[in-house]
Amino acid sequence: MTSRKWVRLFLTTLVLGGVLTLLTSFVVKADAYANVLRPFDFFELIGLLLFFSGLGFIFSIISQMGFFAYLTVHQFGLGMFKGLWPAIQLFLIAFTLFDLVYFRYQAAGKGASVWPFLLTALGLLAVSYIVAYVKRKETNAKAFVPALFFMVVVTTIEWVPALRSDGQDYVWMMIIPLLACNAYQLLLLHRLNNKEPHNN
């Protein structure tokens, strides 16, 4: 990938993260916007918009760091484990989904329902499967498992700071731009390279 294409990928992903986080904040942080609209405070509203946009830029950068780390780990895995690498990735996907449900449920304490955690993991898997399927259709069959691994495992690792927070606001505010940015980078990579990748 040329430096010009990398800059394009970086900037478009940055904008995507900022815009989606800002849009998500209108729903997740509706009370914060209500406080500055009644009574109307222009400067505080601008401050909120800048804050959530900046937060989205940070989420986007986390996504991009995860993407390039994934590319390195993937090549390392191919070189070290060779034919076993797809099976190892599937195991890590299963473990991550189990972790996303079981350990979060245990941390929630007594009286908590397992269903929100289960539905969250299933939602992540469903979105990841769709993205991996598109990647496979646009490239080759070998790209499916690595794409699914990236969307499930790497996204979850990037999501950890929000998952460890006390409230649920930032859990949802972070996962939407992360999923979008990760999917965008994954599906744009082979187009920027102008050739069909192998195992990307």
The DSSP line for 24-77 is: HHHHHTHHHHHHHHTTB-HHHHHHHHHHHHHHHHHHHHHHHHHHHHHHHHHHHH
Domain annotation covers residue 159: yes
Region of poorest pLDDT, from 73-87, 102-116, 129-143: 102-116
Domain annotation covers residue 23: yes
Residue 180 pLDDT grade (very low, low, confident, very high; cuts 50, 70, 90): very high
Domain annotation covers residue 98: yes
Q: Supply the pLDDT for residue 56.
A: 96
Average pLDDT score over residue span 59-75: 96
Higher pLDDT, 153 or 6: 153
Domain annotation covers residue 198: no
Residues β-bridged to residue 37: 40
Domain annotation covers residue 200: no
Vertex 177, ends 179 and 173: CA angle to 5°? 115
Range of the domain at 63: 3-193
Number of domains in the chain: 1
Q: Supply the pLDDT for residue 103.
A: 85
Average pLDDT score over residue span 189-197: 70
Element (H, E) at 88: helix 85-108
Average pLDDT score over residue span 19-37: 92
Average pLDDT, the chain: 91
Average pLDDT score over residue span 159-174: 86
Q: What is the pLDDT of residues 132-162, one digit of tens each?
A: 999 999 999 999 999 999 999 999 999 999 9
Residue 1 pLDDT grade (very low, low, confident, very high; cuts 50, 70, 90): low
| 49 neighbors 22 (Cβ within 8 angstroms) | yes
Using the predicted structure, report yes or no on whether residue 167 has a pLDDT greater than 80: no
Residues β-bridged to residue 40: 37
Q: Give the rounded distance of the alpha carbon of 60 from its chain centre.
A: 9
Domain annotation covers residue 87: yes
Residue 190 pLDDT grade (very low, low, confident, very high; cuts 50, 70, 90): confident
Domain annotation covers residue 199: no
pTM of the full predicted structure? Answer: 0.90
